[in-house]
Chain A
Amino acid sequence: DAGVIQSPRHEVTEMGQEVTLRCKPISGHDYLFWYRQTMMRGLELLIYFNNNVPIDDSGMPEDRFSAKMPNASFSTLKIQPSEPRDSAVYFCASSSSWAYEQYFGPGTRLTVT
């Protein structure tokens, strides 16, 4: 298995632009997680899905952030409009009901100027 795939690996954009991050979970996994990592706040859970349905989005910072999972093999995290304080590394992770741990993608480093 190729593991969790994220794209792009790096994204540089200007304030006010829309940013879309993509994730392909491990085949067969029914849980998908989006995290944000910053020096100040560490690793924060933004939202997670079970069988493509959002279960907990309490970590989504504000309405500028939205996430979708249209099918079992694809999810997006969108920021519109982006702000410099959104600069961070965004991780996608997946797991299954019968597994203990989450498997992480390589992350997307987002820089908003």
Chain B
Amino acid sequence: AQTVTQSQPEMSVQEAETVTLSCTYDTSESDYYLFWYKQPPSRQMILVIRQEAYKQQNATENRFSVNFQKAAKSFSLKISDSQLGDAAMYFCAYRRGGGYQKVTFGIGTKLQVIP
């Protein structure tokens, strides 16, 4: 079974600084997708970024980027120029490819942004 591990229950970062959230996963599949979701205090789950396993290039969305290390099964999220609105729970998630729809989520990392 696939597992997703987030080993940092809480992180903090100064406003305008950079922070990296860690995620590792376990799978025997070669075709899969990885995601980072953000859950602010409003509870709404929002997709931040996704990475296709077959792509070697790391995904980037504005201030958010990932470091995808396929061999190490590592998928970290880097947030640059942190803003107060980035404060939230962040969930790493895995989905097998080939039309398989079930997603496995990590336990989450709570990010605090210090003004």
Instruction: List residues of chain A with CB under 8 Å of any chain B CB.
Output: 31, 33, 42-43, 45, 48, 50, 56, 89, 91, 93, 95, 97, 100-104, 106-107, 109
Contact = CB atoms under 8 A, between A and B. Distances in A.
Contacts of B52: 100
A50 B86 CA distance: 34
- Name the prevailing secondary structure of the A interface residues: strand
B11 interface: no
B101 interface: yes
A31 B101 contact: yes
Contacts of A56: 102
29 contacts: A31-B101, A33-B101, A33-B103, A42-B105, A42-B106, A42-B107, A42-B108, A43-B91, A43-B108, A45-B103, A48-B101, A56-B102, A89-B43, A93-B45, A95-B101, A97-B99, A100-B33, A100-B50, A100-B52, A100-B95, A101-B33, A101-B47, A103-B47, A104-B46, A106-B43, A106-B44, A107-B43, A107-B44, A109-B43
